[in-house]
Amino acid sequence: MFCILDPSYSESIYDCREYCGIMSKHENPWIDVEGEDIPATIKLDPVLFRYTHPDAHILDVACATGNVSIELASHGFPVTSIDINHDALEMTAKAAIDTNIPTHPAFARATAIALPFADESFDVVVMQAFLTVVVSKEDRSKIIHEACRVLKTDGHLYIADFGQTWHSAVYRERYLRDLPVTKEEGSFLAYDEKTVEVDYTAHHFTEKELVFLLIENGFEVEFFKRDTFVTRTGNRINGFVVVGKK
């Protein structure tokens, strides 16, 4: 159940209730966050364009405020943008209207754990700083498996995400402090600056984690790069850019 939307109407953002019901089974703090509070600091790596063709249909998973979707649409690609956060989708739709781009993205409110698309619907799937906020290893695996399902044969999955940064005293302290709570090395609790309450759990990956996440869910690793990213708080942190082929 899915429809291509007219992005000029924010109320037409497709609310995939059949699939969003699954969200209630997976506590997710991002569902009701104000769109402007969703971090989006990682820039799209140009390597992605090596794996596209002019008519490539691209799925932007967890599009947040739409920076990546709009950049891709500005190159003329047909883009479908999904997020569980309705406010983020509205912001992306408005930004698309305000930007002079040849093709506007289509939008759907959906969860990446159960994508509301048929098998082999897309040429490229993009996940930009998304897996870092997926707390469960099981859910991360389901998400990559779903990406594989909706990709066409020889399609590509592009991932850019944060890496463990043990040389940083800030992150080393967070990893060690929160390990008894998160039960996973590289995961830590992020706090709301205003309320000082736990905002969400973040996970930073190792190279091995990302590689096996792909190869165990239907992909071959075609490209892998270490990088340095900047977080929403201005911290410089290790990062990875990975492209997998179905």
DSSP tag of 133: G
Identify which of 51, 43, 45, 93 has the alpha carbon closest to the alpha carbon of residue 73.
Answer: 93
Whole-angstrom CA distances from 193 to 135, 197, 233 are 21, 8, 10
**Which pLDDT tens digit goes with each residue over 128-187?**
999 999 989 999 999 999 999 999 999 999 999 999 999 999 999 999 999 999 999 999
Q: Please give the Cα distance from 176 to 21 (Å, whole number).
A: 35
- pTM value? 0.85
Query: 67-74 and 86-98 helices cross at what angle (nearest 10)?
Result: 30
What single-letter amino acid sits at 230?
Answer: V
Q: Within the chain, how many helices (H) and strands (E) appear? A: 6, 10
CA torsion angle for 49, 51, 55, 56 (degrees, to 10)?
-110
- Using a 10 angstrom Cβ sphere, with 0-12 exposed, 13-18 middle and 19 or more buried, the burial of residue 132 is buried
Q: What angle do CA 204, 237, 162 make, to 5 degrees?
A: 30
Mean pLDDT of 14-37: 45
Going by pLDDT thresholds of 50, 70 and 90, the confidence category of residue 22 is: very low
Q: What is the mean pLDDT of the chain?
A: 85
Of 197 and 150, the structure prediction assigns the larger pLDDT to: 150
Q: Are 76 and 100 in contact (CB under 8 A)?
A: no
- Using a 10 angstrom Cβ sphere, with 0-12 exposed, 13-18 middle and 19 or more buried, the burial of residue 9 is exposed
Q: Please give the Cα distance from 122 to 190 (Å, whole number).
A: 33
Residue 226, pLDDT above cutoff 60: yes
pLDDT over 70, % of the chain: 83
Query: 207-215 and 137-150 helices cross at what angle (nearest 10)?
Result: 50
Q: Distance between alpha carbon 96 and the CA centroid of its chain, in Å?
A: 18
Q: Please give the Cα distance from 121 to 136 (Å, whole number).
A: 26
Going by pLDDT thresholds of 50, 70 and 90, the confidence category of residue 198 is: confident
129: left (phi over 0), alpha (psi -120 to 50) or beta: left
